[in-house]
Amino acid sequence: MPQLIKDFDYNGDYSYGIPDGKLFKVGKYYYQKPNSYTGVLAKSDGTAENTQMLTFPGNGNDRLDDNSSFGNLNDAALVILTYSSDNDRKIKVWKVENSQNTITLIKEIPTSANVHDGKDGIFYNGYLYFTVRKPDNKTEIWRTDGTSENTTLASFSIPDNEYYSNIPEFVIVFDNQLLINKNYKLWTYDDASQVLKDITIATDSYPYTVQFNIVKNSKIIDNKLYLYSQSNNSLYRFDNFSSQPLVVLTNYGSTFYPSYSSLEKCGNSIYLAVGSSENNFNSLWSFDPQSNISNLIYTTNYSGLNKAKNLTCLNNYMYYSKENSNSIYRTNGTQQSVVTMDTTIDNAEQLETTDSIDDIFSYDGHLYFVATTKESGKELFHIKTDLPTFLMTDDIQNVKKSNITIAPNPTSGFVKIFAESNINKVEVYNSSGAKISETQSDRLDFSKLNSGVYLVKIYTDDFIETKKIIKK
């Protein structure tokens, strides 16, 4: 069950409370990146004693907002970039050590009158790399190791192009190199050799090289880099930066250019979702990384109001919800396998058609979801019924048969469990998922139960298996 870590007294510096925001992980600590203007920074490792509210030093003019940048400095410190709107216009670089509860100013860098863009930094080879807009509005790449003397311009720069924005985007660190997207081109920087290279892929059409405009959230899966290019609505896979990438799938017929992607491995498949905003996806695909065979699971148009969201893998199945819906869906990677789960609530009001699923997540082998209901607002729910496990090809080839049987079935009274290995525990659930009994016996009494379908979960030395029992 969720537990309150700490309840702050909102007086003095904390009079406005903790604003909404996202958690940013640095080592074992989480920092809250706010969505609105605030003078405090929340920090926690999940314990009350190490949950703190930090404030900036000085006269209180320094603040965090949604344009502030966060960066993870080697899992040891948080680096923050804030924009100072004083007359001299500066970017202030701050550091918070995990081992300390103070915000320390590292450096002040002159900037333009335009507000800082809020793009987070990326850690590579001992330094956190970040971007700064100069007073002339040109963008530079800087780096820091957390000290003032080593917070400097990077040792490389990517050429500008007068026809483009000239703003570099850090993509990911892969193959011991830093990957950067700028002006529809991909660049790699190798700090060991101090070499900057562009990745060029020839094409027969103008401009005769493949253009890349990488959407957010590229990912390394099984030592391969997967990234989605907005320019041609295609997913690419890099084995390394010495060879050309492979086009895994193309979102044919797409009428939109996504800005966000989600890539997750679930079972033997990799799932790709792309959309115009974070956690709101117009298309959901699966593909086999061995054969590169892909399946379109779900799609909606650019302005559709039922985008997929909240992708969560459990037992080799992918679960997801949709906008403006109170349903949860499950798939094993094909459109034909999609089923709508039963979300009947056994201890609160039922979800109405106007209610929505806000989040889905798994923990300790169980599935949970957060829903906003008309009566109670946001509530956390636990799906208690046993969820199926989708057997992958390797599992099917190697699986052993449990040889667990229950008889008689259907029954009006007692049943006996027959198992080749020792029975450690038996749990009985009703059709709504509520556990009604638990025993270590191989004999179960159904005589006093109402007619219907029951689930019997059997724990042995070798297996955990669930059987369906019909009570006459």
- Domain shared by 414 and 359, yes or no: no
Cα gap 328→218, rounded to integer Å? 26
Query: Are the beta carbons of 133 and 117 closer than 8 angstroms?
Result: yes
- Domain shared by 306 and 375, yes or no: yes
Residue 161 located in a structural domain = no
pLDDT confidence of residue 399 = 46
What tens digit of pLDDT does each residue of 392-445 get? Answer: 555 444 445 557 889 999 999 999 999 888 898 998 887 656 778 999 999 999
Report residue 11's pLDDT band, with 50, 70 and 90 as the boundaries: very low
Residue 250 located in a structural domain = no
- CATH number of the domain that residue 409 is part of: 2.60.40.1220
CA distances from 29 to 39, 55, 75 (A): 20, 17, 9
| Position 240 pLDDT exceeds 60 | yes
Higher local confidence (pLDDT), 85 or 329: 329
Cα gap 42→105, rounded to integer Å? 17
- The full DSSP string for 162-178 is TTS----EEEEEETTEE
What tens digit of pLDDT does each residue of 147-156 get? Answer: 999 999 999 9
> Token pair of 298, please?
């779900």
**Last residue within a domain, chosen from 154, 174, 200:** 154
Cα gap 339→318, rounded to integer Å? 11
My answer on whether omega of the bond before 408 falls inside 30° of 0, hence cis, is yes
Average pLDDT over residues 338-356: 73
- Domain shared by 388 and 412, yes or no: no
In sequence order, what are the residues at sequence separation of 6 or more whose Cβ sits closer than 8 angstroms to the Cβ of residue 9? none
Residue 159 located in a structural domain = no
pLDDT confidence of residue 396 = 44
pLDDT confidence of residue 12 = 46
Query: Are the beta carbons of 124 and 141 closer than 8 angstroms?
Result: no
Higher local confidence (pLDDT), 383 or 214: 214
pLDDT confidence of residue 270 = 97
pLDDT confidence of residue 443 = 93
**Last residue within a domain, chosen from 346, 381, 399:** 399
- Domain shared by 287 and 433, yes or no: no
- Domain shared by 5 and 146, yes or no: yes
- The full DSSP string for 398-444 is HPPP---EEESSSBSSEEEEE-SS-EEEEEEE-TTS-EEEEES-SEE
pLDDT confidence of residue 13 = 47
Residue 178 located in a structural domain = no
Cα gap 432→435, rounded to integer Å? 9
> Token pair of 286, please?
């699966």
- Domain shared by 25 and 89, yes or no: yes
What tens digit of pLDDT does each residue of 196-233 get? Answer: 999 998 877 777 788 899 999 999 999 999 999 998 88
The structure's pTM equals 0.79
What tens digit of pLDDT does each residue of 133-151 get? Answer: 988 888 999 999 999 999 9
Residue 251 located in a structural domain = no
The SS3 of residue 119 is coil
Quick one: which of 184, 172, 298 has its CA closest to 241? 172
Query: Are the beta carbons of 26 and 80 closer than 8 angstroms?
Result: no
| Position 462 pLDDT exceeds 60 | yes
Q: Which residue bears the tokens 């850690």?
A: 123
pLDDT confidence of residue 435 = 79
What tens digit of pLDDT does each residue of 268-308 get? Answer: 999 999 998 899 999 999 999 988 889 999 998 766 778 99
pLDDT confidence of residue 14 = 47
Residue 288 located in a structural domain = yes
- Domain shared by 429 and 307, yes or no: no
- Domain shared by 405 and 389, yes or no: no
| Position 374 pLDDT exceeds 80 | no
Higher local confidence (pLDDT), 49 or 389: 49
Instruction: Tell me the pairing of strands 339-340 and 414-418.
Output: unpaired
pLDDT confidence of residue 15 = 45
Residue 160 located in a structural domain = no
Cα gap 369→437, rounded to integer Å? 25
Q: Which amino acid is at 196?
A: L
Average pLDDT over residues 8-16: 51
Mean pLDDT of the residues in the chain: 87
Report residue 255's pLDDT band, with 50, 70 and 90 as the boundaries: low
Helix (H) or strand (E) holding 393: helix 393-398
> How many domains is the chain built from?
3
| Position 41 pLDDT exceeds 70 | yes
- Domain shared by 34 and 113, yes or no: yes
- Domain shared by 343 and 292, yes or no: yes
Parent domain of 429: 400-471
**Last residue within a domain, chosen from 109, 136, 154:** 154
Among left, alpha and beta (phi > 0; psi -120 to 50; other), residue 315 is left
What tens digit of pLDDT does each residue of 155-178 get? Answer: 999 999 988 889 999 999 999 999
- Domain shared by 8 and 137, yes or no: yes
pLDDT confidence of residue 339 = 92
Cα gap 244→136, rounded to integer Å? 37
Residue 441 located in a structural domain = yes
Average pLDDT over residues 116-143: 91
Say which DSSP state 204 is in. S
- Domain shared by 414 and 454, yes or no: yes
Report residue 254's pLDDT band, with 50, 70 and 90 as the boundaries: low
| Position 383 pLDDT exceeds 60 | yes
CB atoms within 10 A of CB 55: 16
Higher local confidence (pLDDT), 333 or 112: 333
